[in-house]
């Protein structure tokens, strides 16, 4: 069973963490062994307590206030996580961009969730079921991504689970959750349908990765 560390930031939500907690051992052969946040008020910390999962907070703003470089913060975060011996790191609502300093501790072992339909390697954009090409919504939050999709008239929305590479870029896409946009949809209505599919996509990706005998380059 793979040991999973989850990194969070969001003040509200934490639904992807909950999806992992609810699906472990049943939907995928893994267990959340710790939750880390860079914000003390991240709601996922409450979910961790309720699930009896160890958690900690390490705020990069405190390091910056002391004049410490981001490299020092990322090394401190990685070393703290190493004490839980994780096989996988999942960025679930984590908003601080991590560099090769952090990823060097967990090479090819970090997954992230993107609020858009990312392309496969070698392709410019992902082709949706209607034959059109999806806007990957790079750099946008889920709400802003959905608003952009509605404004552009696209027919499909969704999320992607991908390997966060040592270069800090988007690596191979492991799974996607895709939903059809309905006439009259608001961003809130679309989000209510996207999130369950995102959770299923995350659990599918974890099932695939956890099925590998030894964590390798996916």
Nearest to 181 by CA among 134, 124, 118: 134
Nearest to 30 by CA among 161, 201, 210: 210
Nearest to 106 by CA among 36, 53, 164, 171: 164
- The dihedral over CA atoms of 60, 40, 79, 111, expressed in degrees to the nearest 10, equals -90
Catalytic pick among 60, 114, 124, 199: 114
Tokens of 17: 């963490």
Q: Are 211 and 29 in contact (CB under 8 A)?
A: yes
- Phi/psi for 196 (5° steps) reads -60, -35
Whether residue 60 lies in the annotated active site = no
Nearest to 129 by CA among 90, 155, 158: 155
Indicate which residues carry an active-site annotation.
114
């Amino acid at each position: 069973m793979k040991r999973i560390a989850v990194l969070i930031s969001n003040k509200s939500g934490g639904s992807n963490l909950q999806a992992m907690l609810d699906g472990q051992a049943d939907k995928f052969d893994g267990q959340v062994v710790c939750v880390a946040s860079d914000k003390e008020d991240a709601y996922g910390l409450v979910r961790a307590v309720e699930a009896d999962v160890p958690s900690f907070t390490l705020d990069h703003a405190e390091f910056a206030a002391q004049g410490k470089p981001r490299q020092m913060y990322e090394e401190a975060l990685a070393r703290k996580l190493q004490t839980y011996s994780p096989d996988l790191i999942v960025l679930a609502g984590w908003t601080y961009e991590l560099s090769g300093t952090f990823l060097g501790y967990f090479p090819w072992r970090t997954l992230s969730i993107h609020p858009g339909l990312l392309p496969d390697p070698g392709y410019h954009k992902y082709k949706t079921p209607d034959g059109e090409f999806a806007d990957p919504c790079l750099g946008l939050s889920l709400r802003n991504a959905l608003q952009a999709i509605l404004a552009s008239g696209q027919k499909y929305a969704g999320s992607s689970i991908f390997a966060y590479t040592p270069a800090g870029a988007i690596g191979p896409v492991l799974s996607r959750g895709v939903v059809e946009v309905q006439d009259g949809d608001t961003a809130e209505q679309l989000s209510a349908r996207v999130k369950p599919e995102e959770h299923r996509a995350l659990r599918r990706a974890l099932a695939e990765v956890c099925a590998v005998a030894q964590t390798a380059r996916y």
